[in-house]
Amino acid sequence: MTAAPDSPLATLWCPSPNREPRRNGRTPDMLVLHYTGMDSSEAALDWLTREESKVSCHYLVDEEGGITQMVREAERAWHAGQSLWAGETDLNSCSIGIEIHNPGHDIDYRDFPEAQMEAVEALCLDIFARHPIAARRVVAHSDIAPGRKRDPGEKFDWARLANAGIGLWVTPAPLEGALGLGPGDEGEAVAALQRDLDAFGYGVEITSTYGRGLENVVEAFQRHFRPERIDGRADASTRDTLARLLVAAQRAPIA
Ligand SMILES: [Zn+2]
């Protein structure tokens, strides 16, 4: 292992022991964005580079926009945990993980500062220059672990990143009064919703029943793509936004 970061934008290189070779010959074709959920980025860096934590990521972006690399892109970092996207479960082997410092929902969830978003945007574009990553494979930790994770959360500016060519975004359909489908509902409309979420990449079983698992996935979808109301109900705005994203996903080029 060399002592130099992969990204010229990383001004600090603090190797984490929590890394290993990527499995099955995988190379990065996915980006997973996180928030740290800790009091400070210094505390996050300390934790992510401690052997006992058993967690790590490739990059950490602090609130001032400073970028630290701790695992080489060629290696497997331990950031995704139990997760699923597009039918795959070993997402650490195919992804690059970026931790974006924010204390998060349990401590003090706040807006991501401009300097930090600028750094995240530049870092993603820099990674794309080395790895082909499809727009639909730029995801939130909450997308791949619904019900378990909420990061980076509804305050994260996905629209801004999409404007720069990072990830998929359509303007969310406006909210309407009707509540749509929700927990307890059954039938073909629920199955159709499950099929659409599954086709987009979420881990959903086609059961025709709106259970807790589906509610968690709809909440994760809303947190990322329709943040105005996060209630786990498939209202008309949620359905319409998902339908247009499916079309956009087909059209989007690989970065
Ligand atoms: Zn996370």
Asked whether 199 and 191 are in contact (CB, 8 A), the reply is no
Residue 55 C-alpha to ligand 1 middle, in angstroms? Answer: 10
Instruction: Give the bridge partners for 34, in sequence order.
Output: 99
Asked whether 91 and 34 are in contact (CB, 8 A), the reply is no
Residue 79 C-alpha to ligand 1 middle, in angstroms? Answer: 6
- The reported pLDDT for the residue numbered 178 is 83
- The reported pLDDT for the residue numbered 253 is 66
Long-range contacts from 72-76, C-beta under 8 angstroms, 24+ separation: 72/1, 72/2, 72/6, 72/19, 73/6, 73/28, 73/127, 73/130, 73/131, 74/6, 74/22, 75/19, 75/20, 75/21, 75/22, 76/19, 76/20, 76/21, 76/22, 76/23
Residue 33 C-alpha to ligand 1 middle, in angstroms? Answer: 7
Put simply, whether the predicted model's pTM sits higher than 0.95 gets the answer yes
Residue 219 among the catalytic residues: no
Q: Which amino acid is at 29?
A: D
Q: Which of 99, 154, 215, 219 is catalytic?
A: 99
Exposure string (b/e) for 113-140, b if CB count within 10 Å is 16 or more? eeebbebbbbbbebbbeebebbbbbbbb
Mean of pLDDT over the chain: 96
Residues 6+ apart with CB under 8 A from 34: 57, 79, 97, 98, 99, 100, 140, 141, 151, 152
Mean pLDDT of 197-221: 98
Residue 103 C-alpha to ligand 1 middle, in angstroms? Answer: 12
Within 13 Å of residue 238, how many CA atoms lie on the same side as its CB?
A: 28
- Residue 76 phi, psi dihedral angles, 5° rounding: -90, 115
In angstroms, rounded to a whole number, what is the distance separating the alpha carbons of residues 214 and 207? 10
In angstroms, rounded to a whole number, what is the distance separating the alpha carbons of residues 73 and 5? 9
Q: How is residue 136 annotated by DSSP?
A: G
Residue 98 C-alpha to ligand 1 middle, in angstroms? Answer: 9
Strands 59-61 and 95-100 turn out to be: parallel
Residue 109 C-alpha to ligand 1 middle, in angstroms? Answer: 14
pLDDT in tens, 39-63: 999 999 999 999 999 999 999 999 9
pLDDT in tens, 132-155: 999 999 999 999 999 999 999 999
pLDDT in tens, 152-176: 999 999 999 999 999 999 999 999 8
pLDDT in tens, 228-244: 999 999 999 999 999 99
Alpha helical stretches, state H, the chain: 41-48, 114-128, 141-144, 158-163, 188-200, 212-225, 236-251
